[in-house]
Structure 1
Amino acid sequence: MIDKQSHIPIYYQLEEQIKSMIYSKHFKPGDLLPSEREFAEKYAISRMTVRQAINNLVKEGLVYREKGKGTFVADKKFEQDLSGLTSFSEDMRNRGLIPSNQLISFDFEQPDEKLASILAISPTDMICKIKRVRLANEEPVALETIYTPKKIIGDMNVQEFSTSFYDYLEKKLHVKIGFGHQTIEASLANDDEATYLKIKKDSPVLVMERTTFLQNEEHTPIEFVISTYRADKYKFKMTMKRD
């Protein structure tokens, strides 16, 4: 299965062999891979070559290492299409998963100048700040903080707040969400993020910031949200056209 006479590097051939076994479900998420020694003996290649192939698979997020235990097959990442504006709950339901929340805090407060500017309100206006962990099938995927103007949502309380903030806006307040502006950047998990997402501090994360606007003549900002996603669980995609 490894052609040592091929111009294709041996480490790459092994890498593709392992990928094929993962994609065909021969190795399933959570399975322990054979050791470097076992791969080396099976294919009569060096352990250094095996290590290079495994390192590449770790970088791709297909497998992960646990010190003293070995290398395991990673869960498939959630893939979100950025070409449309959907809520986390809608996205998870579309995948056949059960979305849920772990509420951390729910408060009304005055915004700082930056938030007031983003939400197009006065610094004396009140905002609602909602901080929560987003879960899929009870597994933490993202840490989310929502800021929304009180003058739009009124006296919303924890009991009225369902799984999806968009459901609340559209079904209870009967407002129409129009569009959003979004940025995504790579970062490392701080103490707070590591605790709530159940990952190690300084693990890679993806930080998304989005401002969402209503579908009205004024394009009124309805929310500013900061979401920190586990990079080992999530990836984003979009379709791009050349003008």
Structure 2
Amino acid sequence: MDRSLQERLKPVLAEARSEKGRRLPSERELMTRFGTTRITLREALNALEAEGRVYRENRRGWFVSPPRLRYDLLACLPFHEMVRSQQRSARTLLLSAEEVMAPAVVARRLGIAEHAPVYRICRARLVDERRVLYVEHHLLPSCFPQILEFDLARESLTELYRREYGIRVGRVSYELGTCVLSSAGADALNAVRGSPAQRISRINHDQNGRAIDCDDEYWRHDAIELTLSAAPQGGEAIRTS
């Protein structure tokens, strides 16, 4: 890999960062400017993407990554509230909402039989008009009858649960990991299939301890910074090693 090209590209990133669209010149322009080949240029851009400095949108080109969103797992804030609390703009796009048969992993999480009916809601979520999150929700129909009739692009599921069904989230289980975007995720985020992503899987339990839904969030890996704030229980000091 030509690391010197990565360094020579950094002033280009600074120039693009000052522009409204944060878009880099085309690959052809960059090849001419630096006297390099497409393969070498791609290697340098891919390395910068892995560092979270740039990202690629399918058929649109390369862009400088904006500041990361801080995602506090324990705060459990709804998406729009979390984004707006950081003086950013948020928007949700509903991609699909339907009843499907529960895949094995969803059935295990919710404690139901495989292929039992569940509601699946797929949404894309935007920060400052950039598509950064693809999420698949799976809900128990017995807990949320007719919820698919609501405006799921505008409504917070957490708020719907409380207002329409008298259900509040009492406990959340998380599973974190890295992955690459599937076709569905890539299409939703205008990304290239196989692009790196941060996966956050969650199981929500109601006030009685019953698993009521689960979701899988697929974030562009440069879009968030995961944080965790915890206080010791029983007045004991937190130990570190």
Whether the TM-score (by the shorter chain) exceeds 0.5 is yes
TM-score, normalised on structure 1?
Answer: 0.68
TM-score, normalised on structure 2?
Answer: 0.69
Aligned residue runs from structure 1 range 62-211, under 5 A: 62-63=53-54, 73-123=64-114, 125-161=116-152, 162-211=154-203
Deviations 1:17-37 (A, max 9, x none): 98xx89xx979882769x9xx
CA RMSD of aligned residues (A): 3.9
* Among candidates 201, 211, 225, match of residue 235 of structure 1: 225
Residue 72 of structure 1 deviates from its aligned partner by 6.2
CA distance in 1, matches of 2:92, 2:62: 31
CA distance in 1, matches of 2:103, 2:23: 48
CA distance in 2, matches of 1:101, 1:114: 25
CA distance in 1, matches of 2:49, 2:132: 19
What is the DSSP-based 3-state SS (H/G/I as helix, E as strand, rest coil) of the residue aligned with 2:147?
coil
Larger Rg computed on CA atoms: 1
User: Which residue pairs with 1:5 in the alignment?
Assistant: none
Q: Is the 8 A contact 1:112 1:123 kept in 2?
A: yes
* Among candidates 200, 207, 210, match of residue 220 of structure 1: 210
Q: Is the 8 A contact 1:186 1:205 kept in 2?
A: yes
The code of the aligned residue for 1:228 comes to Y
Q: Is the 8 A contact 2:202 2:215 kept in 1?
A: yes
Change (3 A) 1:65 1:190: closer
Runs of 5+ unmatched residues, structure 2: 34-44, 231-237
Residue 233 of structure 1 deviates from its aligned partner by 1.7
Aligned residue runs from structure 1 range 1-80, under 5 A: 30=22, 59-63=50-54, 73-80=64-71
Runs of 5+ unmatched residues, structure 1: 1-10, 39-53
The code of the aligned residue for 1:221 comes to A
